[in-house]
A and B are shown apart, each in its own frame.
Chain A
Amino acid sequence: MNRIAALAQKEFTQIRRDHVLSRLIVGLPIIMTLLFGYAINFTLSGIRLSVYDGSQDRISQYLLQELQKENRFALTHTAQSPEQVTQAIQENRARVGLVIPAGALQTVRQDKAVQLEVYVDGSDPNFAFQAQAALRKVLGDVNSRLLAGKVLAGTATTPPLTPTLHTLYNPEGKTAWFTIPGIIGLIMTIFTVLLTALSIVRENESRTMESLISSPIKSYEVVLGKVLPYFVIATLVSLVVLSIGHWVFGVPVRGHLLLLVGLIVLFVLGSLGVGVLISTLARSQIQAVFGTFAYILPTIFLSGFVFPVEGMPLFFKWLSAIIPARYLIEGTRGVMLRGAGLETL
């Protein structure tokens, strides 16, 4: 018992002496809890909406006004034809599309149902589900207001607006289709950031860095030489993950494969930079590991890997905008599921 206590006390003292580590141990959980408690929210807001309004009458205007209340939906695209609505979703100018047929007001007056066509970007099933729920709620509100008026007038009771839902890109809501592109982003982040940071810190720890500095090698040559192997490894590994996703889980690659590889290469380059940055701050390998955690946790939560960016408060939407993995994940999902091209990314 005495010996266990002695060893435990020694460990505590050593943790306390490592200023970087002790701060991370105390600070990381607090910051993470506060961050993600606020950031993760399934109530979406500002869902980007594309609308083709074939009626242009009181009913359609009332519906659009209700949709934009409380910033639930944001009208980011006005289509000139029903086809432009789905096109806008593919080009990532909107994530939900609504087609209102012509003559909505007359249809309601004749006590018939207005057939709305709703398109939802299904590349993120979480998002698709939440967006549908939000849309249904607004339609329900509008319906009951319209009905209330008609009941007073003594006419019949068919729900005036009936939506037909179309889930695009992942109609069956397969989770793997959504996670695999995200996992590529996550694995790449871990690989590149952690391995690069560790390899440089190890060189410092073993004092071989001093021999390198005293040799004719230039600083940029040291950085490039250290980073190159991890760049190659990370790119190859991501292709392996991609192949598994495609052949085992049947995730489609609807866009151009070269574009996908280009995206990954670009992302790997950025992450290697983060790894080098961590390595300059960390004095020991354990600090580098913790530093990488501090970087990866927000990446998981704020990149849209699990939780839709649309569900975050404004501040975290901004924060997520500086997380490189967000663009990789959006990009891979775009290329693989929506078949997006370079211009839409």
Chain B
Amino acid sequence: MVSVEQVSRQFGKLAALDRVSLQVRSGEVFGLLGPNGSGKTTLIRVLTGVLLPSAGRALVAGLDVRRYPDRVKAAIGYATQEASVYRDLTVRENLEFRARLYLGARAVPHAVEETIRRFGLQDFAHQLAGALSGGWRQRLAIAQAVVHGPKVVFLDEPTTGLDPVSRRTIWDLIHQEAARGAAVVVTTHYMDEAERCHRLALLYGGKVIAQGTPHELEQQALQSARVVYCQTSLPLEQIRAMPGVLDGWPSGNGIRLILENNGPTPSLPLQTVYPNLEDVFIVLTRQPSPADNPASKGGPE
């Protein structure tokens, strides 16, 4: 459904995307995971026809985004960051407006009613979008991106700023769209959320540094590093500076450490634990250039 081959995008001298390649299939929730500035949104903009790629080929719904931008746009749905809906329109008016951009007049009422039902918006249909809470407004943002039944759906940070309960609901809705048969591309910088994707790509500095199911990524990370838990009272800075330690941070009463597989093992009481995606991300981003400044690595800003 989405096929990206060696796509690059320059902004002046800055390479926001550097030879990115990935595949997304129908019925799949595909995660683009990476810190802010890693190129997630730029990639989405290229795939939604908002930006043109500087190089490479991108097929969306089987169509080249450069050659058939209009046909691509008709086949996709896109929810931008920050739940951009019209706050001075009601829920129904927002959905009607979006539906009318894509569908003939006859098909609009049914599509709107069906979407309101599917997203559980019945009770809010006559409320202004601006009066909704963050979670419900985000729900509306996704609803208006799929009201016309697109084959490919792009959701840019649909859960940013939401509480855990709302985030769960949003993920249920995302999977519901995939179950309908759509290919859903979701960006996030919440590492724990990435585990909810069928497959995902780790973006870092405009490059895809790894791609696969969450399990595959974990296995890939374990090839070069392992994650351990260690009960110690030594200062964190001192442990981080030890040879063979990639990173470490407080966890409960102790410290969680990422150790290089082929490096020296610190003489501490170590207990191997299973890596989560945050560990994976750190392992995989540190590999190519170990001299990188750790300050630019972090997760959400």
A7 → chain B, closest Cβ, in Å? 26
Q: Verify A216–B84 contact, CB threshold 8 A.
A: no
Closest chain A residue, CB of each to CB of B49: A214
A208 to B144, CA, bound (A): 12
Q: Would B84 and A207 count as touching, CB distance under 8 A?
A: yes
Query: Chain A 191-221 against B: per-residue CB contact (8 Å), 1 yes, 0 no?
Result: 0000000000000001110111111111000
Binding-face segment, B69-77, B160-168, B214-222, B246-254 = B69-77
Residue of B73, B81, B85 touching A214 (CB-CB under 8 A): B73
B119 is an interface residue with CB less than 8 A from chain A: no
**Contact partners of B101 in chain A: CB under 8 A:** 212, 215-217
Question: Please, which residues of chain B bring their CB within 8 A of the CB of A216?
Answer: 70, 73-74, 101-102
**Contact residue among B49, B73, B78, B84 (Cβ-Cβ distance under 8 Å from A206):** B84
**How far apart are B183's CB and chain A's nearest CB, in angstroms?**
16
Which residues in A have their C-beta under 8 angstroms from that of B87? Answer: 206
Residues 170 to 185 of chain B near chain A (Cβ within 8 Å): none
Verify A210–B85 contact, CB threshold 8 A.
Answer: no
B80 at the interface (CB under 8 A from A): yes
Q: Within 8 Å CB of A211, what residues of B?
A: 78-80, 84, 98, 145
> What is the bound-complex CA distance between A218 and B70, given in angstroms?
9
A218's nearest neighbour on chain B, judged by CB, is: B70
B84 touches A215 (CB 8 A): no
Q: By the criterion CB–CB under 8 Å, are A214 and B82 in contact?
A: no
Query: Would A214 and B84 count as touching, CB distance under 8 A?
Result: no
Which residue of chain B has the shortest Cβ distance to A225 in the bound complex?
B101
Complex alpha-carbon distance, A211 and B97, angstroms: 12
A211 and B78 CA atoms in complex are apart in Å by: 7
Q: A208-B86, A210-B50 are in contact. Are A215 and B73 (CB under 8 A)?
A: yes
B48 at the interface (CB under 8 A from A): yes
| Assembled-state Cα–Cα distance A217/B103 (Å) | 11
Knowing A208-B85, A208-B86, the reply to whether A215 touches B80 (Cβ < 8 A) is: no
List CB contacts (< 8 Å) of B19-74 with chain A: 45, 48-50, 70, 73-74
Q: How many A-B contacts if CB must be within 8 Å? A: 43
Most buried by B among A206, A211, A217: A211
Please indicate the chain A residues that have their CB under 8 angstroms from the CB of B45 in the complex.
210
- Among A219-262, those with CB < 8 Å from B are none
Instruction: State whether B48 touches A208 (Cβ < 8 A).
Output: no
Q: How far is the CA of A214 from the CA of B46 in the complex (A)?
A: 10
Chain A min CB distance to B131 (Å) = 16
Q: Which of A170-210 contact B (CB under 8 A)?
A: 206-208, 210
Could you say which residues of chain B place their CB within 8 Å of the CB of A213?
49-50
Question: Closest A-chain residue to B144, C-beta based?
Answer: A211
What CA separation (Å) do A258 and B94 show in the bound complex?
A: 39
Nearest A residue (CB) for B94: A208
In whole angstroms, how far apart are the Cα atoms of A213 and B84 in the complex?
13
Q: How far is the CA of A264 from the CA of B70 in the complex (A)?
A: 36
Most chain B beta-carbon neighbours within 10 Å: one of A212, A214, A215, A218: A214
| Alpha-carbon distance between A206 and B141 when the two chains are bound, in angstroms | 13
A207–B157 Cα distance when bound, in Å, is: 14
Contacts of B79 in A (CB 8 A): 211
A288 CA / B42 CA spacing, docked (Å) = 27
Cβ contacts under 8 Å, A215 to chain B? 73, 78, 98, 101-102
Q: Which residues of the partner chain B approach A210 to less than 8 Å between Cβ atoms?
A: 45, 50, 78, 80, 84
**Chain B, residue nearest A217 (CB):** B101
- 1/0 per residue, CB under 8 A from A, across B82-106: the answer is 1011110000000000100110000
Taking CB as reference atom, which chain A residue is nearest B148? Answer: A215
A-chain residues with CB within 8 Å of residue B98 when the two chains form the complex: 211, 215
A207 touches B80 (CB 8 A): yes
Residues on A with C-beta less than 8 A from B80 are 207-208, 210-211
A251 to B221, CA, bound (A): 84
Mask of B108-133 contacts with A, CB within 8 angstroms, 1/0: 00000000000000000000000000
A210 vs B81: C-alpha distance when bound (angstroms): 10
Asked if residues B74 and A214 are in contact (CB atoms below 8 Å), the reply is no
On chain B, the residues within 8 Å of A207 by CB distance are: 80-82, 84
Chain B residue at smallest Cβ distance from A209: B84
A118, B84: Cα distance in complex, Å: 67
Alpha-carbon separation in the docked complex, A246 to B252 (Å): 81
What residues of B have a CB within 8 angstroms of the CB of A208 in the complex?
Answer: 80, 84-86
Contacts of B84 in A (CB 8 A): 206-208, 210-211
* Residues on A with beta carbons closer than 8 Å to the beta carbon of B85: 208
Shortest beta-carbon distance from A331 to chain B in Å: 37
Closest chain A CB from B184 CB (angstroms): 15
Nearest B residue to A203, CB-CB: B86
Min C-beta distance of B177 to chain A, whole Å: 17
In the bound complex, what is the Cα–Cα distance between A210 and B98 (angstroms)? 13
Most buried by A among B50, B70, B76, B102: B50
Residue ranges of A at the interface with B (Cβ–Cβ < 8 Å): 206-208, 210-218
24 contacts between A and B (CB under 8 A): A206-B84, A206-B86, A207-B80, A208-B80, A208-B84, A210-B45, A211-B78, A211-B79, A211-B84, A211-B98, A211-B145, A212-B101, A213-B50, A214-B48, A214-B49, A214-B50, A214-B73, A214-B76, A215-B78, A215-B98, A215-B101, A215-B102, A216-B73, A217-B101
7 nearest CB pairs, A to B: A214-B48, A207-B84, A214-B78, A216-B74, A215-B101, A216-B73, A208-B84
Q: A210-B84, A214-B49 are in contact. List 5 more A-B contacts (CB 8 A).
A: A206-B84, A208-B86, A211-B78, A216-B70, A218-B70
